[in-house]
Structure 1
Amino acid sequence: MIQNILIAVAGLGKCEQMLKMLMEIPIIKGANVTILHVVAPQVTAELMAEKLTNGGKILADAIEYLKLDPAKVNVRLKQGDPKDTVCQVAEEEKSDLIIMGSRGLNRLESILSNSVSQYVFQLTSQPMLLVKDDVDIKRISKIMLGYNNSSSAQSSLKLALSFLRDIKGSQLLLIQVKADRKSADAPVNSEQDPVFAPAIAEAKRQGVAYKCIVGVGDPGKEICKAAEEFNADLIVLGSPERRPSIAKNLPDLERLLGNSLSDYVRVKAPCPVLLNRSTV
């Protein structure tokens, strides 16, 4: 259950729009929200003072726009490296969900441009909602879930259904992507695929409408294509925690440089992407 949300803001934009839509979901309505703005170190005290003043205005604008219950809002203006500060505040506030903007950079661009959202995603153990600058923000009624037999997919199923079960007319779009056409040919009816069986049973139990989709080929491309075709409002993906404990303070370069499904989808998706962390 999501009880504490952390949203990192840098000026009114898509993140605030996304949070406003999320707060309409019954299970999230009562959540506490921490609104964070981080000011990076500046070369002079005068410039730092100017940036802090501007940061205070950014926070005030966010509060005015979101119109949340004041008793449920915690506003924080912090100085420091934005990457480390977001992770630090998420731990301090025991955040169940982190919302951040994303420029949709690919892996190499993210490394070279020192992407804050990519860095935080690699280090956080909490679900993270990435909102690209170029996507449309819509009320959540259709969630696409990348689904398989993994524990992270099962955890993501619970999260997606918790969002949808109290929304009238909602639909869960279940998608699995198979490596080749031969493996996708049987059964013809995708709902009969045994991989979907646990998800279908749980969706029926919670009274959520569903649709099963089987893609063939590259998982990232197929998920993004299906999200556009079926007009998904949000994509949920399980993203297992792969870093050994000794490397908790280092970005996972294997995932940054490798062929990561979550990296592809966060860059190419036509809607916001919720990456659900799950330790396996």
Structure 2
Amino acid sequence: MIEKILLAVSGLGHAEEMLKTLKEVPSIQRAKVSVLHVVPPQSTASAMTDKWEEGGKILANAIQSLSLDPSQVSSILRQGDPKDVVCQVADEIDADLIIMGSRGLKRLQSILSNSVSQYVFQLSSRPMLLVKDDIYVKRIKRIMVALDNSDAAKHCLNLALFLLRDIPGSQLILTHVNTDLRGKASEVTEIIPDKNPIFGAAYAEAQKYGIQTRCYSSSGKPGEEICRLAEELQVDLLLLGSPDRRPSVAKSFVDIDRLIGASLSDYVRVNATCPVLLARTTA
């Protein structure tokens, strides 16, 4: 269920457009939206005043552009480090989904440029919808879920079914990549899901909701293949599970492998040509 959405806005990017598109989905229409803008600390009081005024205008413009029922939307203006404040507010309102823009920076660039979206994804356990500046946001009708046997993938499947179940003519695309780290990509093959160990249970679950479902497999490097499948199959939204393998004592620290771009989720975040919803679960 997605009942509370946190939209972090900076005045640029497609995050607002993504939320407007998402609010067209019947299962999301009653969700409450909190629109957040964070003002970074400034060196002088006058500079701080200017930034507060600018932040207020960014919030007002964002809410006006969303055209939502006033009873469903609230605005939050905070001062602090944006990556910390977004996580704090998400916890305060118990957000079911965080929506943020992303510049799609690669690997160490995310650290060197202090990427807010990357750090928030690292430190929050909540599903996060990232929208790169250079993609086209389309009406959601075709959702792709990258499947394996993980709990994170099952969580993504449940989110996809929640989103698609009341959309007329919607389609669920289930995909699985057989890992070939040599990078030798195969043809995309449509799979008959009955009794298939990867697709069978997910397909059966989708049929309970009457959602048209197609299943595809390929082989190659997982990140590259998932991005290729999403583009070739013309999906509107990609859901990818991202298990958090850090021990509980280290949850407040970033996962360096994921932060520097060595993870599947980071590759897809940077390279996918559609919005990506990353769902975090604990290992």
TM-score band by shorter chain is over 0.9
Deviations 1:198-218 (A, max 9, x none): 011011111111111101011
Is the CA contact (8 Å cut-off) linking 2:139 and 2:236 kept in structure 1? yes
Compute the displacement of 1:179 (Å): 2.2
Deviations 1:195-240 (A, max 9, x none): 1000110111111111111010111111111111111100000111
Compute the displacement of 1:250 (Å): 1.5
For residue 226 of structure 1, what is the aligned residue in structure 2? Answer: 229
In 1, the alpha carbon distance for the partners of 2:59 and 2:190 equals 53
Matches within 5 A, 1:62-211: 62-180=62-180, 189-192=191-194, 193-211=196-214
In 2, the alpha carbon distance for the partners of 1:276 and 1:40 equals 28
Compute the displacement of 1:188 (Å): 8.2
Compute the displacement of 1:72 (Å): 1.5
Letter in 2 for 1:241: D
Question: SS state of the match for residue 138, structure 1?
Answer: coil
Compute the displacement of 1:149 (Å): 1.2
Identity rate, percent: 58
Letter in 2 for 1:27: S
Compute the displacement of 1:241 (Å): 1.9
Question: SS state of the match for residue 191, structure 1?
Answer: coil
The total of aligned residue pairs comes to: 278
Deviations 1:101-146 (A, max 9, x none): 1000112110111110000000001000000000000110001110
Is the CA contact (8 Å cut-off) linking 1:41 and 1:80 kept in structure 2? yes
Deviations 1:171-208 (A, max 9, x none): 11111000249xx99x9845353210001101111111
For residue 248 of structure 2, what is the aligned residue in structure 1? Answer: 245
Runs of 4+ in 1 over 6 A off after TM superposition: none
In 2, the alpha carbon distance for the partners of 1:101 and 1:3 equals 20
Give the superposed CA RMSD.
Answer: 1.8
TM-score normalized with structure 1 length = 0.95
In 2, the alpha carbon distance for the partners of 1:250 and 1:259 equals 17
Letter in 2 for 1:89: V
TM-score normalized with structure 2 length = 0.94
In 1, the alpha carbon distance for the partners of 2:255 and 2:69 equals 38
Compute the displacement of 1:12 (Å): 5.1
In 2, the alpha carbon distance for the partners of 1:232 and 1:188 equals 15
Label 1:188 to 1:249 Cα distance change in 2 as closer, same or farther (>3 A).
Answer: closer
Question: SS state of the match for residue 193, structure 2?
Answer: helix
In 1, the alpha carbon distance for the partners of 2:208 and 2:156 equals 16
